[in-house]
């Protein structure tokens, strides 16, 4: 069981899902909250769900929480020029992947950044249609060996602010 985030592990896990020809502009560890409807709206993932659930699959028919969802879980979040790559990890063992998916920037319909009561922490809400995915990103590396969490958080916040225009 591993509770501490490690930069080497994040690089390895996110590296598995980096599309050819793209590179990461920023990588952080973050908290994630999302329901299955939001996840089903992401590119590729909805096709995987359709194969699993059958060709008549309709994300609108999934009750929130019926297949489970993320609530106060952890993830490695990578930003490329075309997408966010998310690798959700198990809460009690961050060395094990729970689920991986991406969020193409062209599918994002709205964004919102809010401050937390915790200094240096920001909440980023990304909407895919009417379904939000929320990330909580701190600017410190407490609980990890990350060297550039603060700079990478700032890069992601700047990029998300640019999507708002």
Portion of the chain with pLDDT greater than 70, in percent: 73
- 84, containing H or E segment: strand 83-90
pLDDT tens for each residue of 55-113: 565 555 554 444 445 666 888 999 999 999 998 887 777 777 878 888 999 989 999 99
Q: How far is CA 136 from CA 5, 20, 47, 62, 74, in A?
A: 15, 28, 27, 25, 9
* pTM across the whole model: 0.81
pLDDT, residue 88, reads: 85
Q: 103 - beta bridge partners?
A: 84
Looking at per-residue confidence, does 73 or 126 come out higher? 126
Per the prediction, the chain carries an average pLDDT of 80
**Dihedral of alpha carbons 154, 114, 17, 88, sign:** positive
Tell me the domains of the chain and their CATH numbers.
7-32+72-163 (2.30.29)
């Amino acid at each position: 069981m591993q509770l501490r985030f490690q930069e080497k592990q994040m690089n390895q896990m996110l590296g598995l899902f980096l599309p050819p020809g793209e590179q990461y502009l920023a990588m952080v560890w973050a908290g994630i909250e999302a329901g299955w409807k939001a996840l089903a709206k992401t590119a590729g993932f909805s096709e995987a769900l359709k194969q699993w659930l059958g060709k008549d699959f309709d994300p609108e028919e999934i009750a929130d929480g019926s297949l489970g969802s993320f609530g106060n879980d952890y993830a490695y979040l990578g930003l490329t020029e075309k997408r966010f790559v998310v690798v959700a990890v198990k809460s009690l063992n961050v060395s094990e992947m729970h689920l991986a998916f991406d969020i193409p920037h062209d599918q994002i319909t709205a964004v919102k950044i809010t401050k937390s009561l915790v200094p240096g922490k920001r909440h980023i809400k990304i909407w895919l249609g009417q379904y939000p995915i929320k990330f909580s990103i701190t600017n410190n590396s407490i609980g990890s060996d990350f060297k550039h969490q603060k700079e990478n958080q700032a890069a992601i916040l700047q990029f998300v602010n640019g999507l708002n225009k």
